Amino acid sequence: MASEKKGISGYIYAIMVALLLIGVAVGFVAGRGAAPTPVIKTTTITVTATAAPVGLTGEVKIGALLPLTGVLSTFGAQFRESLLLAEKEINDYLNAIGRPWRIKFVIEDTATDPKTHLDKLQALHGAGIKIFVGGASSAELRESLGYVTANKLLIISPSSTSPALALKDTALRFTPNDVYQGKAIADVLWQRGVRWVAPVWRGDTWGDGLKEYTIKRFLELCGASKESCGVLEGIRYDPAAKEFSAEAAKLNAIVRDAVAKYGKDKVGVLAIGFEETAALVLAAKAYPALSEVVWQGSDGTAGISQFLDPSIADFVVKTKMYNTMASPGVSPHADKVRDYIKQKLGMDPIGYAYFVYDIAWTLALALDAVGKYDPIAVYNALPLVLKHYIGASGYIELDENGDRSVADFDLWVVTPKDGTYVWKIAGLYKGLTGTVEWYS
């Protein structure tokens, strides 16, 4: 966690008291049939008190910097719905327990652009907002990190995964970083029989990091196996690229030569990108050799709507392109979030959408516990709140850098259904054992 520990001891008592009261209130709210709320464990709390700290009144604003447009727009749409669901539930809950404050998420579109993300954050800060949900991409988070730290703000990302941002600062990440995902992708590639992999990746903080840790793990597996295996020449592309004919032609040459040497069942393509990967796939369709080997994607392409377009879907189905996505785990609250987003958007939510819901709730609980709009106080309160919280993504534990430390991954894949295409989860990669449980 960050060095800003000053004052934490003064909040612990208040937080535990607040959690005790919240636990009582949850039962009260549920008993009246109000909106369901996350479970708060109360069995270990023995503090006797009569009231939580009081200080918040009126509308408490949280900045929400979301990629509603750009190459993570599928994510952004789901994040927005998760926040709106949580906002209503939180305010129903605050009303039920008689609190004089309400939460308001002020949503801004970052266009998945780092500079726009920083500009919007600064504008909201200028308007008095000090706590944010944002940094959907690692490039966006990195662009704003200096300003956040210098101004003692708090930002929580549901989906930034770059290992380069595993820092002791005032940014938290409710998703595991790509040290975990890189291992998962390499293990899945290996278990699928790939022994020679050709990486093509987005050249930014996120893409470089995920490619590095995936290849590192793949080479570890290769070295331990003593088999004929290795990493083929890779292709790093400009994150602003819109057209990929040159990259597809080069990738075809690499794969075609490897297939001639090792056989098509031993060769695979690792595609690390966001929604622009659909354009890469479209260009790759011009080369039959690229459709005869398996492809592997990542969280950047899991659940994206572009892959359901028939002009793209036939290729990703044929190449059995699995896409890793941090698993939300098992929780009694997961069904509620999934059903809500599916009803609103007509799609199953990705794991990160559950994380957004939990960010909203834990921020609200921490704010209520400390009783004031102080980002550092909330930051210091969050570990204790998380210790007693089970949300839509299950139990949340952060490591010493404020990143989620539990790392299982769902394997998302496009599949035909009733004359169209849909996303489904084909299996679960278990980080603890490095194995895949395949679903029927």
Beta strands 394-395; 389-391: pairing state: antiparallel
Give the integer Cα–Cα distance in Å for 329 and 95: 30
Mean pLDDT in order along the chain per 10 residues (440 residues): 38 44 34 39 39 77 98 96 98 97 98 98 98 97 97 97 92 94 97 98 96 97 96 97 97 98 98 97 97 97 96 97 90 90 94 96 98 97 94 90 88 96 95 88
DSSP-assigned states of every residue in 232-270: ---EEE-TT----HHHHHHHHHHHHHHHHHH-GGGEEEE
Q: Which two tokens stand for residue 327?
A: 């698993």
264 to 5, 197, 200, 225, 256: CA distances (angstroms): 55, 11, 18, 20, 9
**Tell me, what's the pLDDT at 336?**
94
**Tell me, what's the pLDDT at 431?**
86
- φ and ψ at 85, to 5 degrees? -65, -50
Q: What residues have CB less than 8 Å from 268, skipping those under 6 apart?
A: 189, 192, 194, 196, 197, 198, 293, 294, 295, 296
Helix axes 375-387 and 8-31, enclosed angle (nearest 10): 60
| Residue 128: other Cβ atoms inside 10 A | 8
Q: Would you say the C-alpha torsion 250, 255, 258, 259 has a positive or negative sign?
A: negative
R_g (Cα) of the chain, nearest Å: 22
pTM over 0.85: no
- φ and ψ at 192, to 5 degrees? -85, 0
| Residue 253: other Cβ atoms inside 10 A | 13
385 to 52, 266, 290, 401, 413: CA distances (angstroms): 14, 48, 49, 17, 35
Q: What residues have CB less than 8 Å from 313, skipping those under 6 apart?
A: 307, 414, 416, 421
Calculated CA dihedral for residues 340, 342, 348, 354, nearest 10 degrees: -20
Helix axes 351-370 and 73-96, enclosed angle (nearest 10): 30
**Tell me, what's the pLDDT at 407?**
77
- φ and ψ at 110, to 5 degrees? -90, -10
